[in-house]
A and B are shown apart, each in its own frame.
Chain A
Amino acid sequence: MHQRLRFNVAFLIIAAVLLLHGPVMASEAAQVNGLVSVEWLSNHLNDKGIVILDVRTFPKYLKSHIPGAVRAFGPWQKMNDKFVGFMAPPVDELQDMLQSYGVSNDSLVIIYDQGLTSTDTAKSARALWTLHYLGHDKCAILNGGFNAWEQKEKPVTAKPAIPLRGDFKANVVANKVITLDEVKQRLKSKTSCFLDTRQPHEHFGHEKKSFIPRYGHLPGSLLIPAAYITIGGQNFSPAYLRTTKELGDMVRGAGIPSDKSAEIIVYSNTGLQAALGYFVLNNVLGYKNVRLFDGSVLEASKDKDVPMKRYSWGWND
Chain B
Amino acid sequence: MEKRTIIKNIFLLAIFTVIAFGLNTPVSLYAWGGVSPLVSTSWLDKHKGDKNVVLIDVRTEANYGFAHIPNAVSIPYGKLEPKCAKECYMIPPTKEITRLFQNAGVNKNSHVVVYAHGNTTSDASKAAAAYWVLKAMGHKKVSMLNGGFTKWTFEGRVVTNEVPKVKKGNFQAKRNPAAVADFSEVAKVVQKGGAVLVDARNSVQYFGHEKRMDVTCYGHIPGAINLPADFLNNSGVNRAPATIKDEKDLATMVVGVGIPKAKSTPIIVYCNTAQLAGLNYLVLKDILGYQDVKVYDGSMLEYCKVRGKLPVERFSWSIGSLRNL
Contacts and interface: CB of A to CB of B under 8 A. Distances in A.
A and B associate in one complex = yes
B19 to A, nearest CB: 33
Contacts of B45: none
A311 B249 contact: yes
B317 interface: yes
Given A207-B237, A312-B252, A249 B231 contact: no
Contacts of A284: none
Interface string A232-264: 001000000000001001101111000000000
Contacts of A201: 203, 228, 230-231
A311 B202 CA distance: 15
A311 B319 contact: no
B160 interface: no
Given A200-B203, A227-B209, A246 B256 contact: no
Interface in B189-205: 202-204
Contacts of B318: 253
A313 B317 contact: yes
B317 A255 contact: yes
Interface in A118-164: none
A250 B253 CA distance: 24
B236 A311 contact: no
B253 A311 contact: yes
Contacts of B249: 311
Nearest to B233: A206
A11 interface: no
B257 A225 contact: no
Contacts of A234: 210
A316 interface: yes
A249 B255 CA distance: 26
Given A201-B231, A207-B237, A225-B203, A253 B316 contact: yes
A40 interface: no
Interface in A202-216: 204, 206-207
B131 interface: no
A206 B230 CA distance: 8
A73 B207 CA distance: 33
Nearest to A249: B315
Interface string B48-89: 000000000000000000000000000000000000000000
B315 A253 contact: yes
The range of chain A's interface size is: 20 to 34
Contacts of B204: 200, 227-228
Interface in B202-246: 202-204, 207, 209-210, 226, 228, 230-231, 236-237
Interface in A28-66: none
A228 B204 CA distance: 8
Nearest to A206: B231
Nearest to A234: B210
Contacts of B226: 200, 313
Contact of A315 (B230, B252, B315, B319): B319
Interface centre among B236, B258, B314, B317 (most CB of A within 10 A): B317
A312 B253 contact: yes
Contacts of A253: 207, 313-319
A87 to B, nearest CB: 28
B316 A252 contact: yes
B110 to A, nearest CB: 35
Given A201-B231, A207-B237, A316 B258 contact: yes
Contacts of B202: 200
Nearest to A199: B203
Interface in A180-221: 200-201, 204, 206-207
Nearest to A252: B316
A310 B231 CA distance: 12
A170 interface: no
Contacts of B236: 207
A223 interface: yes
Contacts of B257: 312-313, 316
Contacts of A312: 252-253, 255-257
A252 B320 CA distance: 13
A207 B233 CA distance: 11
A254 B314 contact: no
B322 to A, nearest CB: 10
Interface string A280-306: 000000000000000000000000000
A246 B315 contact: yes
Contacts of A228: 204, 207, 209
Nearest to A315: B319
The interface centre, meaning the residue of A234, A252, A313 with most chain B CB atoms within 10 A of its CB, is A313
7 contacts: A200-B204, A201-B231, A204-B256, A227-B209, A246-B315, A253-B314, A309-B256
Interface of A: 200-201, 204, 206-207, 223, 225, 227-228, 234, 246, 249-250, 252-255, 309-313, 315-316
Interface of B: 202-204, 207, 209-210, 226, 228, 230-231, 236-237, 249, 252-253, 255-258, 313-320
List 8 A-B pairs, minimum CB-CB distance, nearest first.
A312-B256, A253-B316, A200-B203, A228-B209, A249-B315, A250-B315, A311-B252, A311-B253
Given A200-B207, A227-B209, 15 more contacts: A200-B202, A200-B226, A204-B253, A206-B230, A225-B207, A227-B204, A249-B316, A252-B316, A253-B207, A253-B314, A253-B318, A254-B317, A311-B249, A312-B257, A316-B256
